Amino acid sequence: MTTFRTEHDSMGNIQVDDSKYWGAQTERSLENFPIGIEKMPEPIIHAFLLLKKATAMANLSFGKLDAKREQAIVQACDEFLAGKYPGNFPLAVWQTGSGTQSNMNTNEVIANRATEILNGDFRHKDQLTKDQLVHPNDQVNMSQSSNDTFPTALHIAAVLEVTTKLLPAIDHLNKAITAKSQAFMDLIKSGRTHLQDATPITLGQEFSGYASMLDHSKAQIEAAVNFCRELAIGGTAVGTGINAPKGFGEKVCQELTEMTGCKFNSAPNKFHSLTSKDAIVFLEGALKALAVDLMKMANDIRWLASGPRCGLGEINLPANEPGSSIMPGKVNPTQCEAVTMVAVQVMANDVAVGIAASQGNFELNVYMPVAAYNLLQSIRLLTDVQISFTDRCVSGITANPDKLAEYMGKSLMLVTALSPVIGYENAAKVAKVAHETGESLKDTCIKLGFCTADQFDRVVDPKKMIHPQ
């Protein structure tokens, strides 16, 4: 049976589940925003805990916070970061647009745990003196405002999620794609443009294009995430830094850099960093660019593997599970389908982030929780799907050399090599007549008197057509 305790804030008393560390403002948010099932993303909570630890250390260094409370706050943050006391960060994404309630949720949870560390109990705060308490606003939120902490937590989360998860996932896929490119480099096949036959290419060259896409996407994401290293902390309510000591933002960034191993800088203009979300728009755009490349790659791969008997069938994909509830033996390119669905979601998230960022009115953007939710979902989905796609699809791809050779031998576009010798119009006539009669290009060209057999064999060689002459 749930027991309750009384917590209070500036609006009065409220009953709170006694097994939880949160306080009155968290409880009010739970009551006032029963909207959807989407909760504040875990990376935001993680970033908030890192931030509160760093701000406590900074406040100590400026002489604003006593050592006893600072140590208790740091210990509480470390415990929550380590996964102790789960279930204390329950708030919905659909809350105040500044993220104030998530900031206060973090403040309250840390304050109550820190009070418990100092006194052995926080549930009877009315029996403690003011000096024995750690207050969520006065100490945990010291020198801060929700208006600078939420955008700071958002940037911290973005940097950490990209650098520790997404970039390694890109490298993981790129390594597998590159290995396939090298393995398939000598397998000549028909190229395709406009979904029609084109001049020869090797399967390895085709896959090298996918690897280059990943190289470019990674570079673009790395460039974009650098703008998220600028943090709003120190701007407090409207960017002026009221109630924060001079140099506070710089000190917090120094602590965060040492704490995480990721470089963070104090935003040079806090008025910009509070109201503008251009950094995450830029990052989400780079994520969309990766999604677009993954969509193209997955679509190509499932087309190349289509069949197995009535499609292209140039490559084989691993058979991971039955593909049909009615057709026995059917196997589908399910990993490719997962990639393409993730790509669609990331493209949609880009729209949401862009619209949210456009609503920075005067000194504050009040669409930050939805922007955070969509950005971090994009990062997580792109990370997870690339790992799954690599391990369950790309690494097991094999080629069908016989099918590649069959299509190559049938291709009318080999006639392109003859164009410099017999002219474009004559070469086009050879292709048209060969297609109509079903005869080979060679026989058609000889019959039309455009070249001899020896000339044809010397010029029309697929091995000479896969690189500049």
Residue 38 CA: distances (Å) to CA of 26, 367, 369, 374 = 16, 15, 11, 11
Collect all residues with Cβ–Cβ distance below 8 Å to 100 and sequence separation of at least 6.
146, 150
Which one of 8, 216, 324, 435 is the catalytic residue? 324
Nearest Cα residue to 342 out of 302, 383, 373, 303: 383
Collect all residues with Cβ–Cβ distance below 8 Å to 273 and sequence separation of at least 6.
148, 151, 230, 231, 232, 235, 239, 267
Which one of 194, 266, 411, 467 is the catalytic residue? 194
Q: Cα–Cα distance between 379 and 385 in angstroms, integer?
A: 10
Nearest Cα residue to 151 out of 313, 275, 315, 242: 275
3-class DSSP state for residue 195? coil
Q: How many CB atoms lie within 10 A of CB 407?
A: 17
Respond yes or no: is residue 194 known to be catalytic: yes
Q: Cα–Cα distance between 271 and 450 in angstroms, integer?
A: 74
CA 138 to chain centre: 36
Angle at 194 between CA 190 and CA 197, to 5 degrees: 25
Q: Is 261 exposed, middle or buried (0-12, 13-18, 19+ CB in 10 A)?
A: exposed
Residue type, 135: H
Peptide bond into 369 cis (omega under 30): no
- Residues with a known catalytic role: 194, 324
